[in-house]
């Protein structure tokens, strides 16, 4: 049986660690683990530690590190820049699924047609952490604060940049582009799609127009489909 996963972003170089109150409570009160039982701890940066419980305290559980391994990241780093949707639960669903699929970065993309919403960064970050732990991964996707469309399309460092839109213009099928290499950026627009002006701005900055399938998709569904096509090969 797999050991339960926990996240500690700042692991100190010591053999004995004290879990914070939330993690301590989960270990002792929820999982009812006892002295000598083991857990996994990750810092979200590729490191996976095995630790044995030495003091099962509900507020300050102490554990001793017994093993460490490093898992290299996939060479294909996929960034999804997606317009937030007004229905917050749909955006949260996307963040969860994108993390499970293995996306490296997520950028909330503010476009001309993006509906106004209060982006609760800390809650969204916690959803990503929970999804990483649930899927037992050791790399935490980077969640950005919302960024303007013009800023995102001008970002450097990507091997290829894609923009998925619905206008009846020539577009490639993202499914047929072959295995992705290096860093990839996929832009997903709001309900109502990107404006023609935004599409032209993106094309002028080397973004390639793509389609995700024959059906018209909701924003969060399009994000999930695009993430799957790029990450799962």
Residues 31 and 119 in one domain: no
Q: Please, which pLDDT band fits residue 50 given cuts at 50, 70 and 90?
A: very high
CATH number (domain holding residue 159): 3.40.1280.10
Domain boundary among 30, 47, 70: 70
The CB density around residue 187, as the number of other CB atoms within 10 Å, is: 27
Stretch 29-45: mean pLDDT: 94
Q: Mind listing the pLDDT tens digit for each residue in 83-120?
A: 999 899 999 999 999 999 999 999 999 999 998 888 89
Residues 207 and 182 in one domain: yes
What is the extent of the structural domain holding 227?
77-231
Q: Mind listing the pLDDT tens digit for each residue in 118-177?
A: 889 999 999 999 999 999 999 999 999 999 999 999 999 999 999 999 888 888 899 887
Please give the tally of structural domains in the chain.
2
Residues 57 and 163 in one domain: no
Stretch 65-72: mean pLDDT: 92
Residues 58 and 173 in one domain: no
Stretch 207-229: mean pLDDT: 92
Domain boundary among 70, 101, 120: 70
The answer, as to whether pTM is greater than 0.85, is yes
C-alpha span between 40 and 225 (Å, rounded)? 31
Region at 54 (left for phi over 0; alpha for psi -120 to 50; beta for the rest): alpha
HSE, CB side, 13 Å, CA atoms: give it for residue 220. Answer: 15
Residues 29 and 117 in one domain: no
C-alpha span between 129 and 137 (Å, rounded)? 10
What is the percentage of the chain residues whose pLDDT exceeds 70?
97
Does residue 177 or residue 196 have the better pLDDT?
196
Residues 29 and 104 in one domain: no
CATH number (domain holding residue 40): 2.40.240.20
Residues 60 and 10 in one domain: yes
Region at 119 (left for phi over 0; alpha for psi -120 to 50; beta for the rest): beta
167 token code pair: 């206008």
DSSP state of 72: P
Residues 136 and 172 in one domain: yes
C-alpha span between 139 and 160 (Å, rounded)? 22
Residues 95 and 60 in one domain: no
Q: Please, which pLDDT band fits residue 220 given cuts at 50, 70 and 90?
A: very high
Residues 109 and 140 in one domain: yes
Domain boundary among 15, 42, 70: 70
C-alpha span between 45 and 187 (Å, rounded)? 25
Token pair 């007004």 in the structure block, residue: 86
């Amino acid at each position: 049986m797999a050991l339960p996963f926990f996240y500690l972003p700042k692991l100190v170089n010591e053999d004995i660690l004290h879990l914070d109150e939330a993690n301590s409570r989960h270990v002792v009160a929820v999982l009812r683990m006892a002295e000598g039982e083991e857990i996994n701890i990750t810092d979200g940066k590729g490191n996976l530690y095995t630790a044995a419980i030495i003091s099962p305290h509900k507020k300050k559980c102490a554990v001793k590190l017994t093993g460490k391994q490093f898992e290299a990241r996939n060479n294909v780093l996929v960034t999804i820049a997606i317009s937030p949707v007004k229905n917050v639960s749909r955006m949260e669903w996307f963040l969860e699924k994108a993390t499970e699929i293995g996306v490296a970065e997520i950028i909330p993309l503010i476009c001309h047609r993006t509906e106004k919403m209060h982006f609760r960064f800390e809650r969204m970050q916690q959803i990503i952490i929970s999804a990483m732990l649930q899927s037992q991964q050791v790399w935490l996707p980077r969640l950005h604060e919302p960024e303007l469309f013009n800023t995102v399309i001008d970002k450097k460092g990507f091997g290829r940049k894609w923009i998925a839109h619905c206008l009846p213009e020539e577009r490639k099928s993202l499914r047929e582009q072959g295995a992705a290499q290096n860093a990839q950026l996929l832009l997903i627009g709001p309900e109502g799609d990107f404006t023609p002006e935004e599409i032209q701005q993106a094309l002028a900055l080397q973004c390639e127009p793509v389609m995700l399938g024959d059906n018209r998709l909701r924003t969060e569904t399009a994000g999930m489909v695009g993430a799957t096509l790029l990450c799962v090969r």
